[in-house]
A and B are shown apart, each in its own frame.
Chain A
Amino acid sequence: MSRAGVIRLAVVVGAVGLLEIICRTGVISHRILIAPSEMAAAMWQIVASGEANADMARTFGTVIVSVVISTVLGLAAGLVVHAHPRLRQALDPFFATYYAVPVFIFYPVMIALFGLSVVPVILMGVAASAVAVIIATLNGLDRIPRVLTEVSRAHHMGALDTALQLKLPAAAPYFFAGLKLAVTYGFIAVIASEFILAPAGLGHAIAFAYNDFNNRQMYGLMLLLLIVATVVNMALHHVEQTLLRRRGRLA
Chain B
Amino acid sequence: MTAAPGDVHARLAGVTRVYPGGSGRPPVHALGPVDLELRKGEFFAVVGPSGCGKSTLLEVLAGLQPASAGTVTFEGRAVAGEVPDGIGVVFQEDASFPWLTVYDNAAFGLRRAGTDAAEVKRRVDDALAFMGLKDFAGAYPAQLSGGMRQRVCIARTLVMQPRLILLDEPFGALDAQTRLLMGDEVLRLWRRTGATVFLITHALDEAAMLSDRIGAMSARPGRFLDIIETRWPRERDSTVVGEPAFGAVTGRLWENLRGESLKSLGHAGTGRA
Query: How many residues belonging to A are interface residues under a CB distance threshold of 8 Å?
Result: 23
Which residues on the B side are within 8 Å of A151 (C-beta)? 91, 95
**Are B99 and A247 in touch, CB under 8 angstroms?**
yes
Contacting A at CB under 8 A, from B79-99, are 82-83, 88-89, 91-95, 97-99
**Are B64 and A154 in touch, CB under 8 angstroms?**
yes
Which residues on the B side are within 8 Å of A223 (C-beta)? none
Which residues on the B side are within 8 Å of A150 (C-beta)? 64, 89, 91, 95
**With the chains together, A169 CA to B96 CA distance in Å?**
12
**Are A248 and B142 in touch, CB under 8 angstroms?**
yes
- Closest B residue to A148 by beta carbon equals B95
**Are B93 and A145 in touch, CB under 8 angstroms?**
yes
**With the chains together, A101 CA to B115 CA distance in Å?**
52
State the Cβ distance, B34 to closest chain A Cβ, in Å. 21
Contacting A at CB under 8 A, from B57-86, are 62, 64, 82-83
Q: Mark A156-186, 1 if CB is under 8 A from B, else 0.
A: 1100010001100110100000000000000
Which residues on the B side are within 8 Å of A3 (C-beta)? none
Decide yes or no whether A90 CB sits under 8 A from chain B: no
**Are A169 and B99 in touch, CB under 8 angstroms?**
yes
- Closest A residue to B88 by beta carbon equals A154
Contacting A at CB under 8 A, from B131-162, are 140-143
Q: Which residue among A155, A165, A243 has the maximum number of chain B CB atoms within 10 Å of its CB?
A: A155
Contacting A at CB under 8 A, from B145-190, are none
Which residues on the A side are within 8 Å of B88 (C-beta)? 154
**Are B95 and A147 in touch, CB under 8 angstroms?**
yes
Query: How many residues belonging to B are interface residues under a CB distance threshold of 8 Å?
Result: 22
Q: Which residue among B88, B140, B142 has the maximum number of chain A CB atoms within 10 Å of its CB?
A: B142
- Closest B residue to A168 by beta carbon equals B99
Decide yes or no whether B51 CB sits under 8 A from chain A: no
**With the chains together, A172 CA to B112 CA distance in Å?**
21
**With the chains together, A166 CA to B112 CA distance in Å?**
12
State the Cβ distance, B231 to closest chain A Cβ, in Å. 32
**Are B89 and A154 in touch, CB under 8 angstroms?**
yes
**With the chains together, A147 CA to B173 CA distance in Å?**
15
Taking chain B's interface residues, is the majority helix, strand, or loop, or is none over half, making it mixed?
A: loop
Decide yes or no whether A238 CB sits under 8 A from chain B: no
Decide yes or no whether B194 CB sits under 8 A from chain A: no
Decide yes or no whether A237 CB sits under 8 A from chain B: no
Decide yes or no whether A8 CB sits under 8 A from chain B: no
**Are A248 and B143 in touch, CB under 8 angstroms?**
yes
Decide yes or no whether A246 CB sits under 8 A from chain B: yes
**Are B108 and A155 in touch, CB under 8 angstroms?**
yes
**Are A155 and B143 in touch, CB under 8 angstroms?**
no
**With the chains together, A157 CA to B108 CA distance in Å?**
12
Decide yes or no whether A30 CB sits under 8 A from chain B: no
- Closest A residue to B99 by beta carbon equals A169
With known contacts A148-B95, A172-B99, A157–B89 Cβ distance under 8 A: no
**Are B91 and A153 in touch, CB under 8 angstroms?**
no
Decide yes or no whether B109 CB sits under 8 A from chain A: yes
**With the chains together, A246 CA to B109 CA distance in Å?**
21
Which residues on the B side are within 8 Å of A169 (C-beta)? 97, 99-100
Q: Mark B236-259, 1 if CB is under 8 A from A, else 0.
A: 000000000000000000000000
**Are B89 and A247 in touch, CB under 8 angstroms?**
no
Partner of A155, one of B94, B100, B112, B142: B112
**Are A247 and B109 in touch, CB under 8 angstroms?**
no
State the Cβ distance, B57 to closest chain A Cβ, in Å. 15
Which residues on the A side are within 8 Å of B142 (C-beta)? 245-249
Q: List 13 A-B contacts (CB under 8 A).
A: A145-B95, A150-B91, A151-B91, A154-B64, A155-B108, A157-B112, A166-B97, A170-B97, A170-B98, A170-B99, A246-B140, A247-B99, A248-B142
Given contacts A147-B94, A151-B95, 9 further A-B contacts (CB under 8 A): A145-B94, A154-B64, A156-B83, A172-B99, A243-B99, A246-B140, A248-B140, A248-B142, A248-B143
The 4 closest A-B pairs by CB, nearest first: A248-B142, A147-B93, A247-B98, A169-B99
Residues of A within 8 A of B (CB): 145-148, 150-151, 153-157, 161, 165-166, 169-170, 172, 243, 245-249
